[in-house]
Amino acid sequence: MFLSSVLDVTLKKIKSQTANVITLINLSLGGFSIISCIKGELNLALLLIFLAALADRFDGMAARLLNSESELGKQLDSMCDIISFGVAPALLLYQGIIFDFGAPGTFFTVFYIGCGAVRLAKFNITENNGYFTGLPITAAGCLLTLSFLAIPHLASVSFLFLMIILSFLMVSPFKLKKV
């Protein structure tokens, strides 16, 4: 009887925290990506951001599947997303090519991160109605990360403009249906 009760409580705790653990995996991958950027291992950083995107996709699925959605999970997801899809992609592009622009490159790198933070904060305080307002930071971060592969093929100013455009799209008022 006692063992059954303890096992029941333990399983409920595991079930309730599974999505949060996956979210923290997202954060860890984003953090390792940042460290890889600092060390100059930019291809590894790119891979880690895409792995973080996978973790980000599965945390919400796990929460819905296990019926463990929570306000804590929503806030934690946003905190992790700013690292994995705000800071990590911005630093990857900065290290890859944007640093060539000096102070303006630094400004727009930080501007991208700031717009991502504003977008996440607005998402957290608005009602979920089946639409995103503005480009989700996950999409912006993945596009920015993917653009890294085009560095040998495009003019360097293209990447600065892409970063600026994605920044404004994240905080723009357009509606995008959730899928």
Looking at residue 33, its pLDDT comes to 98
Cβ–Cβ < 8 Å for 148, 91: no
The residues near 7 (Cβ < 8 Å, ≥ 6 apart) are none
CATH of the domain at 83: 1.20.120.1760
Q: Which residues of the chain have pLDDT under 70?
A: 1-12
Looking at residue 8, its pLDDT comes to 61
Q: Of 87, 54, 59, give the one whose Cα is nearest residue 73.
A: 59
State the total domains in the chain. Answer: 1
Looking at residue 60, its pLDDT comes to 84
CA 56 → CA 21, 77, 174, distances in Å? Answer: 11, 8, 23
Placement of tokens 């093929």 in the chain: 153
For residue 131, the enclosing domain spans: 2-177
Looking at residue 11, its pLDDT comes to 63
Looking at residue 176, its pLDDT comes to 83
Looking at residue 118, its pLDDT comes to 97
pTM: predicted TM-score of the whole model, two decimal places: 0.90
How far is residue 112's CA from residue 176's CA, in Å, rounded to a whole number?
Answer: 20
Looking at residue 159, its pLDDT comes to 98
How far is residue 62's CA from residue 26's CA, in Å, rounded to a whole number?
Answer: 13
Tell me the per-residue pLDDT of 93-117, one tens digit each, with 9 for 90 and over. Answer: 999 999 999 999 999 999 999 999 9
SS3 per-residue string spanning 61-126: HHHHHCCCCCHHHHHHHHHHHHHHHHHHHHHHHHHHCHHHHHHHHHHHHHHHHHHHHHHHHHHHHC
Q: Of 59, 5, 72, give the one whose Cα is nearest residue 29.
A: 59
Looking at residue 2, its pLDDT comes to 58
Sign of CA dihedral 85, 126, 165, 98: negative
What are the helix and strand counts (H, E) for the chain? 7, 2
Q: Of 146, 139, 136, 129, give the one whose Cα is nearest residue 171.
A: 136
Looking at residue 5, its pLDDT comes to 62
